[in-house]
Amino acid sequence: MAPRTPHPHCTFIPPWLAERIDGPDAAARDEELRARRGATALPPWAVASTAAPGDPDWTVHDAGSTTDLPGTPVRSAGESDTGDLAVDEAAAGITATLEMYADDLGRDSHDGAGATVTVTVHYGTAYDNAFWDGTQLVFGDGDGRVFERFTKPVDVLAHEFTHAVVEHTAGLVYQGQPGALNESVADVFASCLKQRVLGQQAAEGDWLIGEGIFKPAVLARALRDMAAPGTAYDDPDLGKDPQVGHMDDYIETEDDNGGVHLNSGIPNKAFQLAAVAVGGTAIVGAGRIWYDALVGDDVPPGADFATFAAATVAVAGEHADAVRGAWQQVGVEVGVSTTAPPVPTGQPAGRLRVERSGGFAGRTESAEVDLDSAGDDEIRGLVTEAVLGSATQATPPKPDMFVYTFFLDGHAPVRVPEQLLSASQSELARRILRAHES
């Protein structure tokens, strides 16, 4: 399947946690961490045989504590350990991830067509994050005070790789419920990989994401807990894990791209329940169901939880009741939308305001029209297609390009970068703003 929506810059550490961390002098940390590289043993999961000829291709690069990407190539598939912990952890992790996707899901690399996987380590100075930027997987070394190396837990690598898989399949927009699903799917296959390398059945897994990412002094078991969202950490400096695990507690917010890291606990918990109910290993059991839903035609880029849940039930076969029950336990009723109401079949009504912001001058312009008195059926037709039939685009605008926002009474605002405007949105904005200027 061709990619539907470009994936945004997706990071492993949620923004509220990053804001709480104020480490010591960055230069001093950098020198200290440079000296520590290679000083400790690899974790057990990273002791892996080198890839045999014909295995999926990957290359690990070293950014040298800069932000220049991709960095210097230091190890590729089939080559021996380098002695650099981050490099060798990344090599073992990407090998294990590609093997899981190939052996258990029949997928060849993130694009399904054998693309070379580019991995970069030692990114930035004491950088507390990992991300997929649409081209490569990037990992920081951590600050040495709160965070360890981001290559240390194997599931961090699988999480970021899965963001690339999502980009090439459903293309879930990184905002609100589809964004939370994007984060959750990444956690799902991260946990599947962790359990796979440990040889565990779903019922044996601890369901922790990022276990070992925090330094021992931090009061935390992991970054997230799929089995018990909201319990992974409770530390005086970091605060308490704010994830939720049920629709009753769903968080409406404009922060964190609409709470993508907060509300992902809901579908995370649904998967954990489904995996245990289906039985066997997480990847072969519920993991296969989630993957088949992801690559099918029933999960659009703007899918809400109920839409994704229905897609998983539809491909679950004999396990359909178990999967449906898992979603119901977190408050998601299959087939019942949990976000915006259905698009009305009648004519749009009320006031429409069009706002254009940004651009080289950084100005904001807006104009509005009363659809009830406008008497223009063509305008109403454009509103039906451009606003009622559309959703906010999570992709950021290009430099010095505009962002257009359409506000219609009784409906969620639709925000679209200039480069992604549909023909109807472009025409509607032109008409409303031009009428205001005249």
**Which residue has better confidence, 419 or 145?**
145
The total of structural domains in the chain comes to: 2
Check whether 319 has a pLDDT greater than 50. Answer: yes
Task: Answer yes or no: do 141 and 29 share one domain.
Answer: yes
Find the catalytic residue in 61, 110, 163, 261: 261
Task: Answer yes or no: do 246 and 392 share one domain.
Answer: no
Residue 246 CB neighbours (<10 A) = 16
Task: Answer yes or no: do 297 and 432 share one domain.
Answer: no
What is the pLDDT at residue 20?
67
Domain boundary among 329, 362, 387: 329
Query: What's this model's pTM, rounded to 2 decimal places?
Result: 0.71
The dihedral over CA atoms of 325, 329, 335, 341, expressed in degrees to the nearest 10, equals 180
Find the catalytic residue in 148, 160, 167, 418: 160
Task: With respect to residue 345, please indicate whether it lies within any of the assigned structural domains.
Answer: no
Tell me the pLDDT band of 57, cut-offs 50, 70 and 90. Answer: confident
What is the pLDDT at residue 436?
59
Q: How far, in Å, CA of 240 to CA of 235, rounded?
A: 6
Check whether 335 has a pLDDT greater than 80. Answer: no
**Average pLDDT of the chain?**
85
Question: What average pLDDT does this structure show over 166-182?
Answer: 93
Tell me the pLDDT band of 7, cut-offs 50, 70 and 90. Answer: very low
Task: Answer yes or no: do 293 and 371 share one domain.
Answer: no
Task: With respect to residue 342, please indicate whether it lies within any of the assigned structural domains.
Answer: no
- Going by C-alpha positions, the residue among 420, 424, 427 that lies closest to residue 389 is 424
Task: Answer yes or no: do 255 and 356 share one domain.
Answer: no
Paired residues of 131 in beta bridges: 11, 138
What is the pLDDT at residue 26?
41
Looking at residue 24, which CATH number applies to its domain? Answer: 1.10.390.10
Task: With respect to residue 334, please indicate whether it lies within any of the assigned structural domains.
Answer: no
Task: Answer yes or no: do 387 and 305 share one domain.
Answer: no
Residue 225 has φ and ψ, to the nearest 5°, of -125, 110
The pairing of beta strand 351-358 with beta strand 402-408: antiparallel
Check whether 171 has a pLDDT greater than 60. Answer: yes
Q: Considering the chain, what percentage of its residues have pLDDT values greater than 70?
A: 81
**Which residue has better confidence, 115 or 20?**
115
Q: How far, in Å, CA of 429 to CA of 368, rounded?
A: 10
Check whether 176 has a pLDDT greater than 70. Answer: yes
Residue-range definition of the domain harbouring residue 248 = 10-329
- Going by C-alpha positions, the residue among 226, 150, 233 that lies closest to residue 186 is 226
Question: What average pLDDT does this structure show over 114-139?
Answer: 94
Question: What average pLDDT does this structure show over 105-122?
Answer: 96
Task: With respect to residue 191, please indicate whether it lies within any of the assigned structural domains.
Answer: yes
Catalytic-residue membership of 261: yes
The pairing of beta strand 239-240 with beta strand 351-358: unpaired
Task: With respect to residue 1, please indicate whether it lies within any of the assigned structural domains.
Answer: no
Task: Answer yes or no: do 307 and 393 share one domain.
Answer: no
What is the pLDDT at residue 265?
97
Question: What average pLDDT does this structure show over 150-171?
Answer: 95
Task: Answer yes or no: do 322 and 375 share one domain.
Answer: no
What is the pLDDT at residue 419?
81
Task: Answer yes or no: do 208 and 59 share one domain.
Answer: yes
Task: Answer yes or no: do 363 and 320 share one domain.
Answer: no
Task: Answer yes or no: do 100 and 236 share one domain.
Answer: yes
Tell me the pLDDT band of 22, cut-offs 50, 70 and 90. Answer: very low
Task: With respect to residue 337, please indicate whether it lies within any of the assigned structural domains.
Answer: no
Check whether 27 has a pLDDT greater than 90. Answer: no
Paired residues of 214 in beta bridges: 147
What is the pLDDT at residue 394?
72
Question: Each residue of 198-220: pLDDT tens digit?
Answer: 999 999 999 999 999 999 999 99
The pairing of beta strand 58-62 with beta strand 414-417: unpaired
Task: With respect to residue 336, please indicate whether it lies within any of the assigned structural domains.
Answer: no
Question: Each residue of 180-201: pLDDT tens digit?
Answer: 999 999 999 999 999 999 999 9
Task: Answer yes or no: do 186 and 266 share one domain.
Answer: yes
Task: With respect to residue 2, please indicate whether it lies within any of the assigned structural domains.
Answer: no
